[in-house]
């Protein structure tokens, strides 16, 4: 019997019956599921969650606390999709199930607060986001953060706020949209015109990666369009049960970007790229936007996909370095981009790419998972850090900002001395003059 009566699925975004029915319950996905491997409990597995979703969809089970907890316990890493022989689109099921539990009182208040306030009121408004980032930067760099951490006062107020604070990446010294114009041309012949979305958090927390991306694209003959009016892509909202708002953001970007002419839309964030590639799918029933959304999605490439096809790797400086590569879930499992980044890295002279065991296993970052499911996230991170440590690599490379932040946190927490970088940052170093190289 359901332990806590609430409601059945309702409204537009419900898990698709055909997708539910495509699961043949073979269990091939279980060994690759990080949450199942934490509990060995069937309901924490992809197959178990599909059964739960099916039961609610068929009115056999109401939305209970167990149901809500299982949908939130899932990382949405989509490793199960890669493993599934029947091609079950599990990600679409859990994301629709999260829409259904979004307004439920059973969803923890802290989670609802992040979604309602930060995702809706801050991320999409870049002036608000930058004000927030400036305040946080002052806090991080003035010595106040060290003092607060020393007093342990946040721990006493709220463990969750304290963890969010300690997991928050450092705000960049500059914001990428403030140092580049809206059109950036290469010094030589223009081979491609590309559109580069700055991203919301990328713009303020990982602005150096945006700068590296632009500089590498210029080296490959790209003219770059960098419109200032753009908004957040909607990825965090969609993956956390607010598909309605994510669609609104997608429409705003489509309206803006389709006025421009370009060959590709380049993403340097696995989560953002994955969702922009899904615009065509999430807007397929919208009479006005379905066609433009398909065109938009067809142009999106991860920066490593672009470099694999079109990158110019002549005139690189040799850097002798041992590096390893962690495959971000939204790149390997959602976008199926796995060989291209490694092939590009192998073209860098002097780079020794050390294979990483379980490279495609989630690091536990998963959007806001590490903030709202801290303890489980740390168990998953510990497993990742174990494998990273055995590589003895000086540099850990990964193509998603969330993974960079999480693995940096892992290096500090588990005492591993390595630099954690986006591959584009390392690639840009290979274009520098000798004597101006990273690492020293
Ligand atoms: S998305 Fe990841 S955590 Fe969720 S069921 Fe699939 S493999 Fe498990
Ligand atoms: S999701 Fe795929 S792999 Fe997992 S039980 Fe269903 S059919 Fe099998």
For 88-135, the pLDDT digits (tens) are 999 999 999 998 888 677 878 887 888 888 899 999 999 999 999 999
Output the pTM of the full model: 0.91
Number of Cβ within 10 Å of residue 250's Cβ equals 30
pLDDT per position as a tens digit, 321-363 = 999 999 999 999 999 999 999 999 999 999 999 999 999 999 9
* 127 and 86 part of one domain: no
Averaged pLDDT for residues 246-259: 94
* 193 and 163 part of one domain: no
Residue 436 lies in a domain: no
102 CA distance to ligand 1 centroid (A)? 19
Number of Cβ within 10 Å of residue 72's Cβ equals 22
83 CA distance to ligand 2 centroid (A)? 8
The protein residue with its alpha carbon nearest to ligand 1, atom 2, reads 77
The protein residue with its alpha carbon nearest to ligand 2, atom 2, reads 84
* 335 and 418 part of one domain: yes
95-104, 367-376, 380-389: which has the highest mean pLDDT?
Answer: 380-389
Q: Is the CB of 23 under 6 A from ligand 2?
A: yes
* 405 and 376 part of one domain: yes
* 273 and 204 part of one domain: yes
188 CA distance to ligand 1 centroid (A)? 46
Domain that holds residue 160: 109-167
Given CA atoms 255, 257, 261, 266 in this order, what sign does their dihedral have? negative
- Pocket residues for ligand 1 (CB within 6 Å)? 32-35, 46, 49, 74-80, 90
The candidate with the shortest Cα–Cα distance to 312, out of 216, 173, 229, is 216
Range from 158-172, 190-204, 268-282, 385-399 carrying the lowest mean pLDDT: 158-172
The candidate with the shortest Cα–Cα distance to 91, out of 225, 238, 297, is 238
439 pLDDT more than 90:
no
CA dihedral 403, 408, 411, 416 (to 10 degrees): 100
pLDDT per position as a tens digit, 34-68 = 999 999 999 999 999 999 999 999 989 889 999 99
Residue 366 near residue 377, CB atoms below 8 Å: yes
Domain end marker among 287, 308, 329: 308
Residue 353 lies in a domain: yes
Residue 6 lies in a domain: no
3 pLDDT more than 50:
no
Range from 138-147, 220-229, 366-375 carrying the lowest mean pLDDT: 138-147
* 300 and 202 part of one domain: yes
The protein residue with its alpha carbon nearest to ligand 2, atom 3, reads 84
Domain end marker among 308, 333, 363: 308
* 95 and 115 part of one domain: no
CA gap 240, 254 in Å, rounded: 21
Residue 117 lies in a domain: yes
Q: How many domains does the chain have?
A: 4
Q: Which atom of ligand 2 is nearest to the CA of 25?
A: 5
Report the CATH number at residue 373.
3.40.50
The protein residue with its alpha carbon nearest to ligand 2, atom 4, reads 29
Domain end marker among 308, 338, 356: 308
Residue 275 lies in a domain: yes
Q: Which residues, other chains included, contact 440 with Cβ-Cβ below 8 Å and sequence gap of 6+?
A: none
* 297 and 349 part of one domain: no
% of the chain residues with pLDDT over 90: 72
% of the chain residues with pLDDT over 70: 96
Residue 137 lies in a domain: yes
The pLDDT, as a whole number, for residue 105 is 76
Averaged pLDDT for residues 237-244: 89
Residue 3 lies in a domain: no
DSSP 172: P
23 pLDDT more than 70:
yes
36 CA distance to ligand 1 centroid (A)? 8
Report the CATH number at residue 78.
1.10.1060.10
Residue 395 near residue 323, CB atoms below 8 Å: yes
* 323 and 424 part of one domain: yes
* 116 and 184 part of one domain: no
The protein residue with its alpha carbon nearest to ligand 1, atom 7, reads 33
Q: Which atom of ligand 1 is nearest to the CA of 45?
A: 5
CA gap 312, 216 in Å, rounded: 9
* 160 and 200 part of one domain: no
Q: Is the CB of 29 under 6 A from ligand 2?
A: yes
* 199 and 289 part of one domain: yes
Residue 1 lies in a domain: no
């Amino acid at each position: 019997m359901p332990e806590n009566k609430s409601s059945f699925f309702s409204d537009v975004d419900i898990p698709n019956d055909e997708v539910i029915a495509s699961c043949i319950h073979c269990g091939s996905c279980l060994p690759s599921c990080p949450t199942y491997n934490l509990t060995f409990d069937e309901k924490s597995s992809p197959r178990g969650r599909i059964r739960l979703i099916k039961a609610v969809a068929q009115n056999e089970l109401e939305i209970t606390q167990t149901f809500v907890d299982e949908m939130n316990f899932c990382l949405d890493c989509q490793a199960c999709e890669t493993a599934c022989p029947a091609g079950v689109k599990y990600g679409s099921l859990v994301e629709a199930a999260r829409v259904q539990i979004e307004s439920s009182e059973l969803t923890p208040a802290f989670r609802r607060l992040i979604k309602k306030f930060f995702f809706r009121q801050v991320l999409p408004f870049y002036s608000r986001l930058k004000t927030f980032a400036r305040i946080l930067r002052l806090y991080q760099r003035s010595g106040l953060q060290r003092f607060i951490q020393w007093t342990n006062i946040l721990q006493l107020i709220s463990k969750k706020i304290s963890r969010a604070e300690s997991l928050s990446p450092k705000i960049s010294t500059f914001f990428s949209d403030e140092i580049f114009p809206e059109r950036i041309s290469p010094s030589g012949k223009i081979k491609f015109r590309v559109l580069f979305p700055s991203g919301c958090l990328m713009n303020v927390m990982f602005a150096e990666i945006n700068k590296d991306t632009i500089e590498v694209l210029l080296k490959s003959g790209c003219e770059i369009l960098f419109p200032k009016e753009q908004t957040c892509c909607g990825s965090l909202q969609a993956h956390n049960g607010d598909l309605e708002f994510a669609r609104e953001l997608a429409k705003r970007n489509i309206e803006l970007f389709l006025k421009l002419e370009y060959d590709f839309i380049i993403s340097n964030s696995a989560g953002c790229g994955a969702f922009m590639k899904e615009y065509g799918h999430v807007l397929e029933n919208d009479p006005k936007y379905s066609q433009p959304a398909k065109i938009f999605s067809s142009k999106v490439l991860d920066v490593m996909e672009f470099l694999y096809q079109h990158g110019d790797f002549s005139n690189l400086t040799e850097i002798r370095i041992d590096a390893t590569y962690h495959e971000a879930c939204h790149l390997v499992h959602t976008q199926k981009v796995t060989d291209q980044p490694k092939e590009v890295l192998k073209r860098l002279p002097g780079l020794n790419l050390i294979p990483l065991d379980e490279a495609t296993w989630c690091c536990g970052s998963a959007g806001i998972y590490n903030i709202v499911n801290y303890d489980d996230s740390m168990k998953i991170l510990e497993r990742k850090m174990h494998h990273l440590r055995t590589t003895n690599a000086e540099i850990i490379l990964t193509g998603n900002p969330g993974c960079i932040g999480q693995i940096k946190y892992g290096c500090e927490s588990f005492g591993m001395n390595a630099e954690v970088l986006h591959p584009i940052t390392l690639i840009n170093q290979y274009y520098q003059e000798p004597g101006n190289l990273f690492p020293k």
